[in-house]
A and B are shown apart, each in its own frame.
Chain A
Amino acid sequence: MIILPYMLRPKEQLHITEHYVSSPPALIITDELGDVWTLANEPDRPDAPRGEFAFMVLRNGIPTGTVASRFERRNGRVRAFTRDGWKRWTGLFFI
């Protein structure tokens, strides 16, 4: 897995991504804690939602263990669309 600079937590981040922003088409989503959420660059995951490409969801460039085709920040929570449907971030993992 190649970790690109934009996937990492920046030294200073003043911008918190607005609610209802989804990636894609946004490249990064930054939450209230300053954590940067991105999708890894690995197409053809076998555990993708049907009919879509999916990628490992990264938090500050570290895999969360969840593969999703997209994710969004909604009502202060990050949630990801997986083969099993929408999952939300608890602070430790997606359920």
Chain B
Amino acid sequence: MSREYTVPMSNVTATSLANAAAVFVNNGTVTSLEFLRGWLSQSGNATSAQQAVAWQTQATAFPTLTSTAPVILKQKDPASQISGGAAGAAGTSGVNATAIGAGTKTPIFSDNFNVLNGYLWVPTPLETIIYPPGLATGLGLYWVGAVAQTANWSAGITFRELG
């Protein structure tokens, strides 16, 4: 398969806001997106601590983010139809929300993890999240509770463009 992309967040100081998006992708109007993988980790805290996390959809108003374009996984693939964007608008992606946005958030998968071990979400093939084009919501990986130690967080989402 091809046309797989990752939206990475690398070694940043995480927002201290509760229920903030670590990584957010809002599909455009061209193709469907199939979400295959998501992860969160940190290296700034050597003490065991729990962190709540969730895959959530969010309607407008979307979060304010650091603009981050998807990175190609298969190097011969074309660039993603998604581009980097700070407003969470349709067809854009970003990381590390600085404002959570007032839009309604709907959890899909909620979980908790030890920050020393990090969090990796890999579905079975039947459990992948498929996002058709033109939806009014975006999808993201969120810190549900405020991050206690904000230093040196990394995260990412891997998705595939279908059709």
On A, residues with C-beta under 8 Å from B are 2, 4-6, 10, 14-15, 17, 21, 23-29, 39, 41-44, 51-53, 55, 69
List, sorted by A's number, 5 A–B pairs whose CB atoms are closer than 8 Å. A2-B6, A25-B120, A41-B6, A53-B36, A53-B123
Across the interface, A26 reaches (CB within 8 A) one of B118, B123, B124, B160, namely B118
- Apart from A26-B117, A27-B41, A28-B118: 14 A-B pairs, beta carbons within 8 A: A2-B71, A5-B10, A5-B11, A5-B154, A6-B118, A24-B120, A25-B119, A39-B122, A42-B73, A43-B36, A44-B1, A51-B125, A53-B123, A53-B125
Find out whether the CB atom of A15 lies under 8 angstroms from the CB atom of B116.
yes
Given known pairs A15-B116, A41-B37, the reply for A52 and B46 (CB within 8 Å) is no
Find out whether the CB atom of A43 lies under 8 angstroms from the CB atom of B120.
no
Main secondary structure of the interface of A (DSSP, over half): loop
Find out whether the CB atom of B121 lies under 8 angstroms from the CB atom of A25.
yes
Determine the interface band of chain B, counting residues with CB < 8 A from chain A: 20 to 34
Q: What sequence of 0s and 1s flags, for each residue 46-77 of chain B, a beta carbon within 8 Å of any chain A beta carbon?
A: 10100000000000000000000001010000
Main secondary structure of the interface of B (DSSP, over half): strand
- Chain B residue numbers with a CB within 8 Å of A39 are 120, 122
Within 8 A of A (CB), among B116-163: 116-126, 154, 156, 158, 160
